[in-house]
Every structure is written in C-alpha cells, then in structure tokens.
Amino acid sequence: MGFQIDLTSLILPDQMADCRRVAVLPPGTRHTEWQGWADVVVTGVEPGVALSQPHLWRSVLSGQVLDPASLNTFWYELTHGAYGTVQRAKGIFDVADGRSLYFDFVAGLAETTYLELNLPLWCNGRPDRFSGIEVVGEALDQEAIAEIIKACCLEDHVIAYYQQQLRESVGEGIGSRE
C-alpha cells in the first residue's frame, strides 16, 4: 500500500476477520503509524530513488485506447525522468490491438517490459473495463504527463478501423479451426 492511503479508511469485511495485517516498509522505518496498524512488518528493499516530498499523481483512463508505439515512447520518457523524478509507476492500458497491458516500473530495479493481462481482446467500441495510471515521484509535471497521455489516445474512427481489422482476423481464426 502506498503512503497516500489513510489507515483509518482500511476497514476489513467481517467475513475476513481471521487475517493478519502485513505492512511492507522500507529499511529503517520506525515509529510510524504503520507499525501500530500492522501485525507483521516486513522490511522491503531500499527505494532506488529517495524522495523528500513524495507526490502521487493518478488518472483513470477507462474507455481510452492508446497507440502502442506512442505508449512506449511515453513510458520511456516518464520512467527516465522527462516529467520529473519517478520512484514508482504503474499503469493498465487498453491498446489498439484489443489487448489490455500492465506496465510496472520501480526505480533502481531492472527494467521490466509490459505484461499482457489475461483479458479478452476488446474489439467493439470503447473498452468498458478499468484502465489507468499511477505515478509516485517528485516535482512531477502533471500537466505535461496528462497532455502526453492525451496525445497517445486514439480517436473514435481510428479505434473503429483497428477493431474492424481485429474482428476480421479473429473471425478468420475461428473459420480456419473448423
């Protein structure tokens, strides 16, 4: 859980009463509200980038479909400091070929590529499922980030064009199996 979460808001459902609260904290964390809240404290790895004034920026993108090549450029720039220092970034994005992709970045850890989520290809209209982005960092140029994401998003007629192709190729796939 991130630093932005209000601990008093964490109310567990009754049927989950038989559980333990586990907090994963950076090395050297002492006397914080987390210690009081958790039953077990696990010491995690040192953050790759220390932030003096951590800031969280997030945006829900559900319904948006992104151009994959633009998304790659954006993700590279974001995680290499073009829009401020980034310690952690996560995103779920719907892309033009119908897939839902999961991006995960931790400063200081080996670069990871995206993961394809095990969800059906979305090939009819704007996706009615969650997508969004969350960035933890410092001195983030939120306006620029939002603007770039907007520039990566496809317009309705482009989405329709890709989905038409997608439906055709999926249709062919079914046909050839018969």
Partner 1 sequence: MKIAVMSCIHGNYEALNAVLSDVDNHNVDKIYCLGDLVGYGPHPNAVVEMIRALDIPTCQGCWDEDIVEGLNACECSYPSVLAEKRGKLAHEWTNQIIHPEVREYLAQLPLSLRDDNLCFVHGSPHNQHEYLLPEVDAFVAMERVLATGADILFCGHTHVPYVRSLNEGQLQIRVKSTGKLAEDMSFSAPLKRIVNAGSVGEPRHGRPNATYVIYDTNDDQITLREVEYDYQKTCAAIIEKGLPPIFAWRLARGMEFAERADDPTHVCER
Which residues ranging from 116 to 145 are in contact with partner 1 (CB under 8 A)? 144
Q: How far is the CB of 4 from partner 1 (least distance, A)?
A: 27
Q: Is residue 154 a contact residue for partner 1 (CB under 8 A)?
A: yes
What φ, ψ does residue 60 adopt, rounded to 5°? -85, 135
Q: Tell me the per-residue interface mask from 25 to 64 with partner 1, x by CB under 8 A, - otherwise.
A: ----------------------------------------
Strand partners for 93? 101
Angle of helix 142-152 relative to helix 68-79, nearest 10 degrees?
160
Q: Is residue 103 a contact residue for partner 1 (CB under 8 A)?
A: no
Q: How far from 47 is each of 35, 86, 87, 111, CA to CA, in Å?
A: 19, 11, 8, 15
Q: How far is the CB of 83 from partner 1 (least distance, A)?
A: 8
Contact segment (CB under 8 A) with partner 1 among 41-49, 52-60, 66-74, 87-95 equals 66-74
Name which of 32 and 70 has its Cβ closer to partner 1. Answer: 70
- Residues that bind partner 1 (rule: CB under 8 A) add up to a total of 14
In 3-state terms, what secondary structure has residue 9?
helix
Q: How far is the CB of 75 from partner 1 (least distance, A)?
A: 11
Q: Which helix (H) or strand (E) holds 173?
A: helix 156-177
Rounded Cα distance, 96 and 90, in Å: 19
Q: How far from 177 is each of 44, 164, 165, 173, CA to CA, in Å?
A: 49, 20, 19, 7
Contact segment (CB under 8 A) with partner 1 among 4-12, 23-31, 46-54, 146-154 equals 146-154
Among 32, 73, 142, 165, binds partner 1 (CB under 8 A): 73
Name which of 92 and 159 has its Cβ closer to partner 1. Answer: 159
Q: Which helix (H) or strand (E) holds 137?
A: strand 132-138
Q: Which residues bind partner 1 (CB under 8 A)?
A: 67, 69-70, 72-74, 77, 80, 82, 144, 148, 151-152, 154
